[in-house]
A and B are shown apart, each in its own frame.
Chain A
Amino acid sequence: MDTAKVLIVDDEEIVLDSCTEILRGEPCELATASDGARGLALIPEFHPDLVVVDLKMPGLSGFEVLERIHQTDPTIVTIVITGYATVASAVEAMKRGAYDFLPKPFTPDEFRLIIRRGVEKRSLVLETIALRRERELLRDHFASIVSHELKAPLAAIQQNVFSLERELAAVATEDQRGRLGRVKTRVGDLLQLIETWRRGVSIDVEAIKAQCAPVSISVPIEKAVDSLSVHATRKEVELVANVPDPAPMVWGDQGTLTQVLVNIMGNAIKYSRVGDRVTVSAQARDGKVLVSVSDTGVGISPEDLPLIFNAFYSAQPGAAGERGSGLGLAVSRRIVEAHGGTIAVQSTPGKGSTFVVTLPERTDDGPGSPPRETGPQTATPKEGRR
């Protein structure tokens, strides 16, 4: 940071004057305000890096000023001046997000030092934000570049397998045709894997947030049940949906939520044996909607449990020997987190597993506002069976 912008808010003119005098010659641009309201009014035009606030002022208290600054821009570094050098008020200020405190009276050196440290802190904060943004961008670019570089040669290979298969159809032996067919399958799987990976790593968190709207949780559940029912029937696994009517509303993106449920329920079916049951249910609790997927399948061993949300981690093959890409749960977690939700799992080997996705309940003004009163639950659960 070349020149740091420092705003000092204090009701005592003598303090403002002496602080201005002390900072003369320091690489910073200074603004002063004689009370909280004036100080806050200056922030949008002055864009301070650092704000020094006296805790005890007439009008808006220093605590209120701190709070409002952190609400407007949490990256602004704040330092409090405490007239009555009580540890309690300094600790309170730091609890509310102040970076440091300076008890009155202070020497010019103490003031210069604390300002320098504050400015340094601000540079670090900004640098971290910039790096984080760069990392996101790089990840997206990296994903599309890598997937293109990997897919292009595979597409050339596969295109020739396609044409060779056709050209040799009349002359190849059955064994040769079989091997050509397996080459085709393996290359096709690889292309599919690259595409899944690219979709997984380049999940656009901002795009998901922008897509969010009030959605009844029954919609993605029903869609996921629909798309998996054939698979479940084929494996002779019972698929049960248990959603109250009316179903709780969430603040979410229907498409990606369905993807999450298909992943989790698909896994549950995969790790179930003939005659097992997979139950998906939803309920609202404390401003959150909990969607749980329980199975009576093979369960997850305690060693595997902490790793299952990692990319490319695929535990033992499914009950019928199926293998996954090891991406479904990693992708699901990213999607759920983009919704401001969490995903958790409990499992007992041999008995089955339960995955719980927790999402913010829908409120009329979007996420973050207090949950609406749901009232007594008189509705009877709707048993859907497929």
Chain B
Amino acid sequence: MTSQADFLQPPRPAVWLVNLFTSAEEAESIRGDLLEEYFHLMSKSGVAFARNWYWRQTVKTIAHLVGGWIPCRSLVDHCRRSRRIFTAEVRLRVARAGNICSSSQISGFRTSFQRLCILCDEWDCDRTRHRVDVRWVYRRLGGQEKGDGCYDDARSGPWRIGGSAMLAWVARTGDASSLWMLPWYFADSVAIVIGGAIVRTRRSAAMLRRSNA
């Protein structure tokens, strides 16, 4: 349970993210500055506002630290691809959850969904399919199997729930053949940690070069 003293501190995941992406020397000044302004804002505008501000600063700070070594063009391209996938999924969810589409319309949509997948690169495409597959397993575990395949995801939860459901499925059935898919579901978390380590290492090396010069 979170205590009152904990609640007055900046959000822990945000602090952890700043530490992850900055070298020790940078973290000292950046975290100090964030903390100083956080307490100032907390006394002026309240805890909720200050915590919100801290999160916003953390996200923007990380974007700037990462932006220094990832080419802007590749970031933009990736965002566009992700948006295409996301839009297709949202439309599908709305259609299924609201029952506003007839079967023929949905089958037509599946075709356009697949068409959208073709527009994305292979990695995004596979990942999306795997996400939808794991949600199907999740539904089956919950006794809501409809038997119509992997696009039935009206009640889909976040990926991690899907990954956990997959683990539970394997534990229950003893069928470990689908374990190879697990890295896909936790890919975001792993990518954040690896990305943070790379950015931190590169920035530490740059600082060292600067101090040697």
Q: Answer yes or no: do A and B interact.
A: no
Give residues in B with beta carbon < 8 Å to A: none
